[in-house]
Structure 1
Amino acid sequence: MLFRNSELKKHSMYVDVSSPGYIFVNAAVLSSRSVGPLASAYAVIKYLGEEGYLKLARKVLSARKKIYDGLRELNFESVAPIESSVLSLTNEDADLLGFVSAMREKGWHFHLQKGLKEFHIPPNIHLTLSPIHDDVAEEFIKDASMAVKEKASINLESLNEMVQKGEFAEILKDLEEGKIDSSIVPILLENLPEEVATEIVEEIVIGWYT
């Protein structure tokens, strides 16, 4: 579907900034999925067979163990029992914003998630592991051991002042131009009214397509 302008495109998106995990965004109406990717996934599973699927599952578990054990050496801890290929980790001794930014500079991209005080969940990083990560786990931990020492270059106090003044257009401009690392977005939106936070996320996502 094509849209005449970006304002119309906003109405085809699903955004949930209140999600207990990362900010949930889907460019499709009601976060729906087309049948194409589902058919492709089914075809791949049929091609792999049971043994092929188990081989990949073992690599995921191996990657999870390597990365989790390595990050625990850097004082990271899971915020919940680990039951899948997803890790949500926090570190009281580290500047998580600085860590995520430093890892991005090294080519590793993952989510920084806001904390949820009502559920006693601190800010944390979100990693979704796949078989390929088993081959790069050692490199990831090596880079993490350096990045964990980094402090955020972003002035949160200054950004919060801009938020309080309603200077959202300026914040969006700085995000689009790369003056503000987009990893700050979950933390930044935490202090905004939901409707304002949703609009900012929509503007950011639309910017990716224009």
Structure 2
Amino acid sequence: MRRAEEYVSRDMDPLSGRMWGHVYVLGAPDVIELGKALYLKFMDKTMLDFTVYPSVLRMENELVGMVSSLLHGDDEVVGNFTYGGTESIILAMKAARERFERSSSGTPEIVLPATAHPAFRKAAEYLGMRVVTVKVDGQFRADLEDVKGKLGGNTVALIASAPNYPFGTVDDVQAMAELALDRGVWFHVDACVGGFLLPFLRELGEDVPPFDFSLEGVSSVSADLHKYGYAPRGASIVLFRNAELREGTVFAASKWPGYPVVNTAVLSTRSAGTLAASWGILIYLGREGYRELAKRVLDARRRMETGLRNLGYKVLGEPKSGILAFTSDERDLAALPREMRKLNWFVQYQPGSREMGFPKSIHLTVAPGHDVLVDQFLKDLSSVSLTVEEEIRLPEGDLVRALGIEEGKLPEDFTVINRLMHEAPPDLVEEVLKTAVNRYLFKPPSSGP
């Protein structure tokens, strides 16, 4: 335990309010404590075999029902609990591929906007599918004309984001649903970020167009409980319009001497802790509790947008949830995370891509507890003076080591890496990242722990 305390002392505290990314359940200590208690109560119960613990099956069904109701599902909608948005997305894409392969023999394709989460690309890589990328418009939403041109006979699924992660903007889900329905294409809405926030922002009077099962063309939806559902990691839900569409996700095996194995998720053995915590938190908060937390997120996001513009930054697109991104032509954004870290803030740099036409930006995920910290953040941001670095100086020698990446250790300064990622072709960036992770970062220490 002492060693663990020593290790964690070097990390930022996710509940400090100083992190503007990867943290959602902030400013709600009662929710955190309830989640911990339920997690511990069910931590040792497995979701591997649903015949062993009836309480686990009951909780999952009740949880799916609550989420379905929130997202305008009818009595036909079914779904399952997963350990994260990526798992939910993989399951949805597998179901879509199975449906496609029953009537087609071509190379299956996923059509998605360039802003869609990389989990879809991972799903395509795992499932042997091809990705067809759609351009986005000036508001970073899927270009509908390009969508029409990219759909074809090998299309397995069309993807929309509600919202996308980089900019917090929402695709025109209604128009895409109508197009998918007309073409007979599976349409998946990735609401991993917005599923437990957008409905309550709408109740607060925000302009939130329909994005869920209220639209006839929507086949499946993913929504993360461990984001604005405020549950512990990992917890997500994938919903299908009916049981027939879900068929491709259910795995069963009896061709061995052991007990019959039936899985409704990619993972088999899973602690029921996060399921129980998610179930309890949804019941505890109810619509009123979620609406109140959404109000705090909305207030903090609006004040942040105004403050950023007053400081001369440009907010990208029209943020619709708790995410926003900002950019600047006058400041060196690649160095901004380093300078803000000196002031004990975490912000996430998004390199964009010169080749793809995306600007460099800083991503902010706004949590309820940020409502009392916006002013201090903006004050500190205004004190950081950053001039644009006109020339990128490449380090000499072994590129990975020269960038400060050592065996099992992250570099202390990511500034040069940040600049390179914007300028380099995406394919090269991916290869360098794979090499760094495979050969340097994830490697047991030679001297032992």
Taking structure 2 as the reference length, the TM-score comes to 0.35
Q: CA deviation at 1:206?
A: 2.8
Identical-pair percentage: 27
3-state SS in 1 of match to 2:406? helix
Aligned to 1:136: 373
Amino acid in structure 2 at the alignment position of 1:181? D
Work out which of the residue numbers 348, 357, 382 in structure 2 matches 1:120.
357
Work out which of the residue numbers 328, 332, 345 in structure 2 matches 1:91.
328
d(CA) in 2 for partners of 1:22 and 1:183? 24
Work out which of the residue numbers 397, 403, 420 in structure 2 matches 1:188.
420
Amino acid in structure 2 at the alignment position of 1:123? K
3-state SS in 1 of match to 2:363? strand
Q: CA deviation at 1:186?
A: 4.2
Amino acid in structure 2 at the alignment position of 1:168? V
3-state SS in 2 of match to 1:176? coil
> What whole-Å deviation, never above 9, does each CA across 1:111-139 have from its counterpart, x for those lacking one?
10112335532100011010000011111
Q: CA deviation at 1:80?
A: 1.8
Aligned to 1:73: 310
Bigger shift: residues 169-178 or 89-98: 169-178
d(CA) in 2 for partners of 1:177 and 1:58? 37
> What whole-Å deviation, never above 9, does each CA across 1:58-96 have from its counterpart, x for those lacking one?
000000011111111111112222111011111112111
d(CA) in 2 for partners of 1:174 and 1:183? 19
Total equivalences in the alignment: 181
> What whole-Å deviation, never above 9, does each CA across 1:127-152 have from its counterpart, x for those lacking one?
101000001111111101112x1358
Distance 1:103 1:203, change over 3 A: farther
Aligned to 2:82: none
d(CA) in 1 for partners of 2:322 and 2:398? 39
d(CA) in 2 for partners of 1:87 and 1:118? 23
Distance 1:98 1:194, change over 3 A: closer
d(CA) in 2 for partners of 1:79 and 1:59? 21
d(CA) in 1 for partners of 2:376 and 2:284? 31
CA contact (8 A) 2:408 2:443 kept: no
d(CA) in 2 for partners of 1:175 and 1:87? 32
Work out which of the residue numbers 435, 441, 444 in structure 2 matches 1:199.
435
Q: Which runs of 5+ in 2 are unaligned?
A: 1-85, 87-113, 120-125, 127-233, 235-265
Distance 1:208 1:21, change over 3 A: farther
Q: CA deviation at 1:98?
A: 2.7
Amino acid in structure 2 at the alignment position of 1:169? R
Larger RCO of the pair (alpha carbons < 8 Å, separation 6+):
1
State whether structure 2 residue 337 is matched by structure 1 residue 105: no
CA contact (8 A) 1:23 1:186 kept: no
Aligned positions of 1:148-187 closer than 5 A: 149-151=385-387, 156-157=392-393, 160-162=394-396, 165-171=397-403, 172-173=405-406, 176=409, 178=411, 180-182=412-414, 184-187=416-419
> What whole-Å deviation, never above 9, does each CA across 1:35-79 have from its counterpart, x for those lacking one?
643442332121111111111000000000111111111111122
d(CA) in 1 for partners of 2:300 and 2:439? 35
Aligned to 2:284: 47
Distance 1:194 1:97, change over 3 A: closer
Q: Which runs of 5+ in 1 are unaligned?
A: 1-13, 25-29
Amino acid in structure 2 at the alignment position of 1:176? K
d(CA) in 1 for partners of 2:280 and 2:398? 49
3-state SS in 1 of match to 2:349? strand
d(CA) in 2 for partners of 1:56 and 1:100? 27
Distance 1:181 1:120, change over 3 A: same
Amino acid in structure 2 at the alignment position of 1:173? E
CA contact (8 A) 2:408 2:441 kept: no
d(CA) in 2 for partners of 1:37 and 1:208? 29
d(CA) in 2 for partners of 1:60 and 1:127? 12
d(CA) in 2 for partners of 1:201 and 1:52? 41
